[in-house]
Structure 1
Amino acid sequence: MAAYEIKFRDARELAEALKALGADMRSLPFFDNRREIRSVYITDVDVRAANVIKQEMLSRGGDAAVHAHAVDCGVTESDVILFGTVKQISFLADKLETMPWWGFPDTVKVLREALASFSKKPATIDLPSGSSLAFGGRTLLMSIINLSDDSFHSESRTYGNVDVAVARAVEHAKDGADILDLGAESTRPGAARISESEEIGRIMPVIREIRKILPLMPISVDTTREKVAKTALEAGADIINDISGLTFEPGIARAVADHNAMLVIMHMRGTPETMGSMCIYSNLLKEINDFFDEKIRTAISSGVDRAKIILDPGVGFAKDYSQNLFLLRHLESFRIHSKPILIGASRKGSVGKATDSPDTAGRLEGTLAVSALCAWAGVDIIRVHDTKENKKAVMMAEAIRNADYA
């Protein structure tokens, strides 16, 4: 006789294990609902509701952490952490739905959103260029082409040379890029802005030349300016990657909607020049998700297709070293919106600090570790400088994640 712990990562692996031991396969849904204990953090709950939630979870075999003074109503509100299976949390939502007081309707709403986000549904999104992107399967690679002359990673700069940029696009495509991300303005910490006309002048000829050679390659343009976004989309771009998350020029959303394109909403504070001084949060994950809620509403109200919104928590943007690592450790927290997640950590300062690599040239190995972690976690897109190397790291992580039950 032997005993060992085993974690079933998904219903497919659990089904293979049940089949191997000869279980009745009709039991799969029953066991799948009990396969994993989920932790759900809910903020700003009426203390009376928090006490009810705890008792309801306990009655179903789960639990809930609440403020120490919730029991005697020594506080008016409490954050709540639920610990339970999908089935237990679903039962809780059903029970609370019968109680129209103490803010329970809002609690039920966020619980339903959490339950929906637990299952990742495959989706294929059509792009303006005639190509498409498939989400919910493997991790996609967004390959960086810097058209600026002062990007933080000097080896990625093309210095405005169209031929060099196009050659790099072809190389990225050959090495396995799923998306090309063109940026004409550096957003490294402390970077100053260039003029709108200069940004357009750097981007437009490169888009046109890439389209001639790679007509169906998805192209993303990294910009915070409405006019640049509109001009880029007219020239053949498919995605606008707005590092300000519609904060600088919200009209970008209308330009994206008018071209039926995709929009990346990234979280940041301040500007690249000031963001380093804006890293104080009371609850980092909550504040980023609140930001996403607001900006998703802005995008949709401007006409952006809700299925064409991508979220980027903004590693390195108004976050310090510990906060960046914390984000990467808790990528699951951004699934609540049921949108594709993009992570851009390639060769950034946090990678350098963690691996004792002050020069960006020495940060490849650390970047590959982050990429493997993201692939394991099911991140939808990673933004990288080194396509070939990151492609192989992702392939290895996904091979392990998707291995057959033995």
Structure 2
Amino acid sequence: MSDVVLMGIVNVTPDSFSDGGRWLDPEAAIAHGLELVAEGAGILDVGGESTRPGAAPVAADEEARRVVPVIAGLVAAGTHAQLSVDTTKATVAAAALDAGATYVNDVTALRGDPALAGLVADRGADCCLMHMQGEPRTMQREPRYDDVVDDVRAFLEARVAFAVGEGIAEARISVDPGIGFGKTLAHNLELLARLDALVALGFPVVVGTSRKSFLGAITGREDPAARVPATIAANVLAYTRGARVFRVHDVAPARDALLVAAATLRPHG
């Protein structure tokens, strides 16, 4: 499964929708990250600010205080996984890169902080550009699109052009349709069904459906932790449409399902 990368989620926050507070202690977060790597994560995405719908913003110094010790601890532990910081702020990203991160995952696609694109370019870091309509506090208030896939594709194409113009190498860019970020259930399903239109942009497509509320709406599972099978189904379907990076809370079951999908779709004989 060399063409698939699992991005394990390490939320160092008190208020994430799925596991808020569970990994707030740095030692617990480091241990959790190492466990995810043992289960097959190739990237660990460390975040100190929740982006769930309605989430309150976090000051940059507090966000850095949460994520930097975790990244530094993972480096000290000798992890072979790539370390990502999930942030929209250049100062936080700089501190994380100083601590050993080499990837910046920005839900604003370099729109939130004017200094972030230049920082990523100067440091030679990888980055993920995600589509989000609005911002976390307001994104689920009646999101509308002419055609959600066409609109998201145009947005990502424009943000890639911006990133390249700021000096970020194309080979370091991934794109994310932002499932659940300013989208209705129908929008999310349409994006998953037509994901190949985004893959056609020519950049690795990151999919983050893990435990999200649209899966709960389909399955009737109110507890996010009970949405693992639904997450797996969404990831396998996304894989068949060309997605290759999967941001998940539950690495081991996602890995096994994607191994089977990859083996089945691979040419035989």
- TM-score normalized by structure 1? 0.64
1:120-167 CA-to-partner distances (Å, cap 9, x unmatched) read xxxxxxxxxxxxxxxx9522100000000111003x643520110111
**Match status 1:151 vs 2:16:** yes
* 1:277, distance to aligned residue in structure 2 (A): 1.6
| Secondary structure of residue in 2 paired with 1:319 | coil
Which position in structure 1 is the counterpart of 2:216? 352
**Match status 1:237 vs 2:107:** no
Alpha-carbon distance in structure 1 between the residues aligned to 2:79 and 2:120: 20
Alpha-carbon distance in structure 2 between the residues aligned to 1:399 and 1:290: 33
Alpha-carbon distance in structure 2 between the residues aligned to 1:384 and 1:372: 12
* 8 Å Cα contact 1:145/1:157 also seen in 2: no
* 1:376, distance to aligned residue in structure 2 (A): 2.5
* 8 Å Cα contact 1:269/1:278 also seen in 2: no
Alpha-carbon distance in structure 2 between the residues aligned to 1:373 and 1:157: 31
| Secondary structure of residue in 2 paired with 1:165 | helix
Q: Looking at both structures, which has the greater relative contact order when contacts are Cα pairs under 8 Å and sequence separation is at least 6?
A: 2
* 8 Å Cα contact 1:222/1:241 also seen in 2: yes
Alpha-carbon distance in structure 2 between the residues aligned to 1:376 and 1:157: 34
Count of residues in Structure 1 that have an aligned counterpart in Structure 2: 269
Question: Which 5+ residue runs of structure 1 have no aligned equivalent?
Answer: 1-135
Alpha-carbon distance in structure 2 between the residues aligned to 1:205 and 1:234: 11
Which position in structure 2 is the counterpart of 1:23? none
* 8 Å Cα contact 1:279/1:318 also seen in 2: yes
| Secondary structure of residue in 2 paired with 1:276 | coil
Alpha-carbon distance in structure 1 between the residues aligned to 2:68 and 2:44: 14
1:175-229 CA-to-partner distances (Å, cap 9, x unmatched) read 1111000011000001011111100000111111100113432011100111111
Alpha-carbon distance in structure 1 between the residues aligned to 2:21 and 2:102: 22
| Secondary structure of residue in 2 paired with 1:189 | coil
**Match status 1:198 vs 2:62:** yes
The residue type equivalent to 2:63 in the other structure is: E
Alpha-carbon distance in structure 2 between the residues aligned to 1:165 and 1:137: 27
Match of residue 24, structure 2, among 160, 170, 175: 160
Alpha-carbon distance in structure 2 between the residues aligned to 1:354 and 1:165: 31
Pair 187,250 (structure 1): closer, same or farther in 2 beyond 3 Å? same
| Secondary structure of residue in 2 paired with 1:250 | coil
Question: Which 5+ residue runs of structure 2 have no aligned equivalent?
Answer: none
Alpha-carbon distance in structure 1 between the residues aligned to 2:199 and 2:239: 14
* 8 Å Cα contact 2:195/2:242 also seen in 1: no
Alpha-carbon distance in structure 1 between the residues aligned to 2:81 and 2:183: 32
Pair 205,246 (structure 1): closer, same or farther in 2 beyond 3 Å? same
| Secondary structure of residue in 2 paired with 1:383 | strand
Match of residue 163, structure 2, among 285, 299, 306: 299
Match of residue 258, structure 1, among 104, 113, 122: 122
The residue type equivalent to 1:362 in the other structure is: A
The residue type equivalent to 1:390 in the other structure is: A
- TM-score normalized by structure 2? 0.96
1:290-326 CA-to-partner distances (Å, cap 9, x unmatched) read 1112211211111111111100000000100010011
Identity %: 36
Alpha-carbon distance in structure 1 between the residues aligned to 2:94 and 2:184: 33
* 8 Å Cα contact 1:139/1:378 also seen in 2: no
* 8 Å Cα contact 1:242/1:264 also seen in 2: yes
* 8 Å Cα contact 2:210/2:247 also seen in 1: yes
Segments of 4+ in structure 1 off by > 4 A?
none
The residue type equivalent to 1:195 in the other structure is: A
* 8 Å Cα contact 1:138/1:375 also seen in 2: no
* 8 Å Cα contact 1:138/1:378 also seen in 2: no
Alpha-carbon distance in structure 1 between the residues aligned to 2:242 and 2:151: 22
Alpha-carbon distance in structure 1 between the residues aligned to 2:206 and 2:241: 12
| Secondary structure of residue in 1 paired with 2:140 | helix
Alpha-carbon distance in structure 1 between the residues aligned to 2:199 and 2:40: 26
The residue type equivalent to 2:51 in the other structure is: T
Which position in structure 2 is the counterpart of 1:176? 40
| Secondary structure of residue in 2 paired with 1:151 | coil
Which position in structure 2 is the counterpart of 1:216? 80
